[in-house]
Every structure is written in C-alpha cells, then in structure tokens.
Amino acid sequence: MVTSTSPVAAFAALGDETRWAVLEALADADPAAGLTASALAARLPVTRQAIAKHLVVLEAAGLVDSRAVGRERRYRALGAELTALGRRLERIGDAWEARLGRIASIAEHLERG
C-alpha cells in the first residue's frame, strides 16, 4: 500500500465531478501508456492548466500515478488505491453497524431480565 496521505484527502479529491471525469478518462485509456494533461484537456471541457491542478490533487491523494516520458508526463489511474479506500470505508461502516447490533442485543437481554 503506497497510500501516503490521509484518507480524508482522498475523499476530498473524490468529491469533485471534474476529478471523476479525469479519473474515468484515465481508466478508459491504455493503462500501459497513460494519458497526458493535454490529452485529457482535449477530452474534457476545461483548460489544460485546470486539468494539471486536478492531477496534482489526485496524485497527492495517491489515486493517480505519473511518469515523465520525454517532454511529456503520462498519468495512470490507480484502481487498486480506490479499492483499498473502499474497503477501508466498508470496515468503518461495518464497525458502526456492529456497535448498533451490540446495543440491540444488550437491550434484548435487559428486556428478558
């Protein structure tokens, strides 16, 4: 797990429609090659610079990968990180539900005396 930053940052990163559009475009692209900021800007209705900023956020959140290839920089979507984040959320939710279950069973015991 290379998940460097806090999950909260990752959720904040996922809390923006444009960023999802970027992620989906990256997921659609050839993972081996990746996509450049310019290529993404061609597909989406915002400037290259705006895309670049989103990519910074996504990379800081660990949801995206980049490598320099000559004069361009190729980005890839990291599905595994998304999966890990999802599992984390799932565990937390389950824990909360479990607590609810315990309370319910205690209440049941009390009722029965």
Task: Looking at residues 59 to 98 of the shown chain, list those that interact with DNA (rule: CB under 7 A).
Answer: 70-73
Q: Phi/psi zone of residue 38: left (φ > 0), alpha (ψ -120 to 50 degrees), beta?
A: alpha
- Write down the least CB distance from residue 74 to DNA, Å: 7
CA–CA separation, 40 vs 79, rounded Å?
A: 18
Residue 72, binding choice from a second copy, DNA, none, Cβ under 5 to 8 Å by partner class: DNA
Residue count of the chain = 113
Among 23, 25, 29, 36, binds DNA (CB under 7 A): 36
Q: Is 68 in the site for a second copy (CB under 8 A)?
A: no
- Write down the least CB distance from residue 19 to a second copy, Å: 9
Q: Is 103 in the site for a second copy (CB under 8 A)?
A: yes
The answer to whether the beta carbons of residues 34 and 72 sit under 8 Å apart is no
Q: Phi/psi zone of residue 34: left (φ > 0), alpha (ψ -120 to 50 degrees), beta?
A: left
Residue 49, binding choice from DNA, a second copy, none, Cβ under 5 to 8 Å by partner class: DNA
Distance of CA 1 to the CA centre of its chain: 14
Q: Which residues bind DNA (CB under 7 A)?
A: 12, 16, 18, 36-39, 45-50, 52-54, 57, 70-73
